[in-house]
Amino acid sequence: MTGAMAAHRQQAPRFTPVPPRIPRDPKAQDHGWPNRWPLRTQLELAALDTAPGCARAHARAVLWEWKADDAAADDVLLVVSELVTNAVATTQKHRRPDPVRLWMLGDGASILFLVWDATMPAPVRDIATPDAEYGRGLAIVEALCVRWGAYYPDERPGEKVVWTLMQAAALPGDVT
């Protein structure tokens, strides 16, 4: 490498990607609420059939990093899988090229999951028959989580965020 090339490489700026921020809930009284969660992670995935598995792997690694008890992991992974599966399915159905985004926010006592996609239809809890192949996802989420809902960010019409709040008693209470 010539001296000029080496000097240019040393002066070249480093690229540090900025993760997308959580879209604001227009009904929230305090728009700074995401910053109050001490534990956070974000993952962006292509809307492919492999995305739920990748989201589960990410969530498992995050739970390990957050020192969560293994007993809580199965429920967390199931919730993540259901939310991401729904987002991927609606993105594919509407033939959108956009990714699906997952945020996990924790405070030692609970975990908030937010899943963003670029489609409008809100998730609807179906009543599935015992032999139905689909339709149980939100019933599972509802059974495992304290609350769930969806909102439509004002700053980007046509998009939605589905969120769930899960008690995480297995997480350590002291997060510093």
107 vs 5, which has greater pLDDT? Answer: 107
- The partner residues of 100 in beta bridges, in order of sequence, read 45
Task: Tell me whether residue 77 is in a domain.
Answer: yes
Spatial separation of the C-alpha atoms in residues 145 and 166, rounded to whole Å: 4
Q: Cα 168 to the chain's mean position, in Å?
A: 16
pTM (whole model) above 0.75 = yes
Residue 58's pLDDT band, with cuts at 50, 70 and 90, is: very high
Task: Tell me whether residue 10 is in a domain.
Answer: no
Spatial separation of the C-alpha atoms in residues 106 and 165, rounded to whole Å: 10
* 54 CB burial (10 A radius; 0-12, 13-18, 19+): middle
Task: Tell me whether residue 31 is in a domain.
Answer: no
Task: Tell me whether residue 80 is in a domain.
Answer: yes
pLDDT computed for residue 170 by the predictor: 45
> Residue 66 belongs to a domain with what CATH number?
3.30.565.10
Backbone dihedral angles phi then psi of residue 8, each to the nearest 5 degrees: -65, -45
CB neighbours of 9 closer than 8 A, spacing ≥ 6?
1
pLDDT computed for residue 168 by the predictor: 66
Tell me the average pLDDT of the chain. 85
pLDDT computed for residue 124 by the predictor: 76
Task: Tell me whether residue 127 is in a domain.
Answer: yes
Which residue segment(s) compose the domain that 69 sits in?
Answer: 38-167
Task: Tell me whether residue 8 is in a domain.
Answer: no
Spatial separation of the C-alpha atoms in residues 171 and 167, rounded to whole Å: 9
**Listed range (22-36, 81-95, 96-110, 160-174) with the worst mean pLDDT:** 160-174
Number of domains in the chain: 1
Task: Tell me whether residue 82 is in a domain.
Answer: yes
Task: Give the residue-averaged pLDDT of 105-120.
Answer: 94
Task: Tell me whether residue 134 is in a domain.
Answer: yes
Q: Which amino acid is at 156?
A: R
Q: For the chain, how big is the Rg over CA atoms in Å?
A: 19
